[in-house]
Amino acid sequence: MSVTPPKERIWWNEPVPKSELAWVIIAFVWGLVMFFAMVFWHMYGEQNLSNEAYRITAEQYSAKTEAMVEKYQVREESGYPVVHPPEGEDIYLIARLWQWWPILELEKGKSYRLHLSSLDWMHGFSLQPVNINVQVHPDYEMVMTIKPTTTGEFGIVCNEYCGIGHHQMLGRMYVVDNGGS
């Protein structure tokens, strides 16, 4: 019994029942499959998170973002600048208490280098309803290449608790088909 010492003193020499042995082997092989699925996806899959990241200060990051807004702003909405950068461009999104700034307008089927960083606390970038979720840290600038494949209006929800205004921290992103201007 499990609550008494093993009856057989040399329990480690007991034979293992076949069914147990088979299950151990199956489970081990399944572990290998799951492990190599991740490796496989790195080679052939399209959704892999970038490893590109830099240390940065809040001042540097907001300067870069403002430069982009200056260059590519096309209109304003609810007090937010809307920027429409060209394909392949570096685009910046600021997370801060409690907003995502500015509003990005992208084109379907084109790639952009999206930068993410926080100016204050940790936040959670959650693009809805696409459902891409990335942790956003202060002092770290993460860069990933994204390629929108659906058009419309997207919400950016904050899903890392960041104080009392956390649930009001919402941003927006637009994806338009061929141009939009």
Partner 1 sequence: MATSEQFRICQTTGLRVYQKTENLIKANAVVAVVFLAIGGLFGLTVALTRWKAVHLLPADWFYLALTAHGLDVLVVWIVFFEVAVLYFASSVILGCRIATPRWAWAGFVLMLVGALITNVAVLMGKSSVMFTSYVPLKAEPSFYLGIILFAVGALIAVFVFFGTLVVAKQEKTYEGSVPLVTYGATVAAVIAVFTLASGAIILVPTFLWSIGYVSHIDTLMYRTIWWGFGHSSQQINVAAHITIWYMIAAVVLGAKPLSEKVSRGAFLLYILFLQLASAHHLLVDPGISSEWKVFNTSYAIYLAVLGSMIHGLTVPGQIEAVQREKGYNNGLFEWLRKCPWGNPAFSGMFISLVLFGFVGGISGVVMGVEQINIIIHNTIYVPGHFHATVVAGTTLAFMAVTYLLIPLIFRREIMFPRMAKLQPYVFGLGVSGISMFMMGAGTLGVPRRHWDISQADAVLPYDFPGVANLLMGLNGMSALIAGLGGAMFVIVTVGSVFFGKKIEDTGAAVAPSTVDEYGSAEHAKVPGTLVLVGIFFVSFILYFFVNWKYLAEVWPLR
DSSP three-state, residue 173? strand
Please report whether residue 90 would count as binding partner 1 according to CB under 8 A: no
Is 59 among the residues that bind partner 1 (CB under 8 A)?
Answer: no
CB 166 within 8 A of CB 98: yes
Segment contacting partner 1 by CB under 8 A, of 65-73, 75-83, 87-95: 75-83
Is the CB of 104 or the CB of 169 nearer to Cu ion? 169
Window contacting partner 1 (CB under 8 A); options: 59-67, 68-76, 81-89, 126-134? 126-134
The binder of Cu ion chosen from 169, 173, 174, 175 (CB under 5 A):
169
Q: Note whether 129 and 154 are within 8 A (CB).
A: yes
Residues 74 and 133: their CA atoms lie apart, in Å, by 27
- Binding positions for partner 1, 2-21, rule CB under 8 A: 2-9, 11-12, 14-17, 19-20
The answer to whether 137 contacts Cu ion (rule: CB under 5 A) is: no
Q: How far is CA 48 from CA 21, 38, 41, 51, 156, in A?
A: 36, 10, 8, 9, 20
Instruction: Report, in Å, the least distance between residue 137 CB and partner 1.
Output: 5
Which residue, among 98, 113, 94, 106, has the nearest Cα to 150 in the 3D structure? 106
Q: For residue 16, what are the contacts with CB-CB under 8 A and spacing of at least 6?
A: none
Nearer to partner 1, 37 or 63 (CB): 37
Q: Binds 123, which of partner 1, Cu ion, none (CB < 5 to 8 A, cut-off by type)?
A: Cu ion
Burial 53-84 (b: 16+ CB within 10 A, else e): eeebeeeebbebbeebbeebeeeeeeebbbbb
* Residue of the chain from 93, 96, 126, 174 that contacts partner 1 (CB under 8 A): 126
Binding mask 134-163 for partner 1 (x = CB under 8 A): xx-xxxxxx-xxxxxxx----xxxxxxxxx
